[in-house]
Amino acid sequence: MMILTDLQLDALAEVFNIGAGKAAASISEIVNDEVQLSVPSIEFKPSCLINADALTLNANKFGTVRQDFHGIFDATALLMFSENSALEIVREMMNSNLSLDELAEFEQDAMCEIGNIIINACLATMADMLSMRLDCSLPSYSIISSNEIVTEITHNTVQEYTLLLNVIFTSVKRQTEGRLVLLLTSASIANLIQRIDQFLAGI
């Protein structure tokens, strides 16, 4: 099993932290409110060991944005919010007094836009800092259970490793917690480690 050293994990956290900061600035403009992101915490595990506890999934349903990335680095990114948090984000994004039921009509398009901003800010920053090129699919959005999320991760035999990136999104109005999960092939993680080492050598 491939394991990242503490130094490599710290470097990866630094790269994601810069990307998360860019995402926070973009989202603040969209929802017209100050949004802050915590320093990302990172764990790297074999996908077969992932469960709801590892993901700290403490809600029944999650609004989940998915994007696939290809290039030197191949990955599937899952951005997850609790179902109610997703609707609250849509409310802020639209600056609307609509009820949660009424907001559901706009949920898919709005969450795809938010997910695209957050995921690409993190992944594009990582690609730029680690001198990689990434191509991405269009984002897709669905509401799925915690069990379905775990099943998608653990039953995906191609993506052997999971990079857990936990970020807390905080606005002046309320605190919303989101999780970004990257599913990686063994070849991709080997390439990632190589690029991280090159990044560290250039510091």
Per-residue model confidence as pLDDT tens digits over 165-175: 777 777 777 66
Whether 157 shows a pLDDT value over 60: the answer reads no
Q: Which residues lie below 8 Å from residue 48, measured CB to CB, with a gap of 6+? A: 154
Ordered domains of the chain (ranges, CATH): 6-202 (3.40.1550.10)
Helices assigned H by DSSP within the chain: 6-31, 52-55, 83-94, 100-103, 107-129, 146-154, 186-202
> Which of 22-26, 141-145, 188-192: highest mean pLDDT?
141-145
How many CB atoms are located within 10 Å of the residue 88 CB? 18
Whether 84 shows a pLDDT value over 70: the answer reads yes
List, for residues 90-139, the tens digit of each pLDDT value. 777 776 677 767 777 788 888 898 889 888 888 888 888 888 888 999 99
Closest by CA position to 55, among listed 134, 124, 147, 140: 147
Alpha carbons 171 and 140: distance in angstroms, whole number: 25
Helices assigned H by DSSP within 32-106: 52-55, 83-94, 100-103
Q: Which residues lie below 8 Å from residue 78, measured CB to CB, with a gap of 6+? A: 64, 65, 66, 149, 152, 153, 180, 181, 182, 183
Confidence grade of residue 25 (pLDDT, cut at 50, 70, 90): confident
Alpha carbons 49 and 41: distance in angstroms, whole number: 18
DSSP label of 137: P
Q: Which residue has the higher pLDDT, 182 or 201?
A: 201
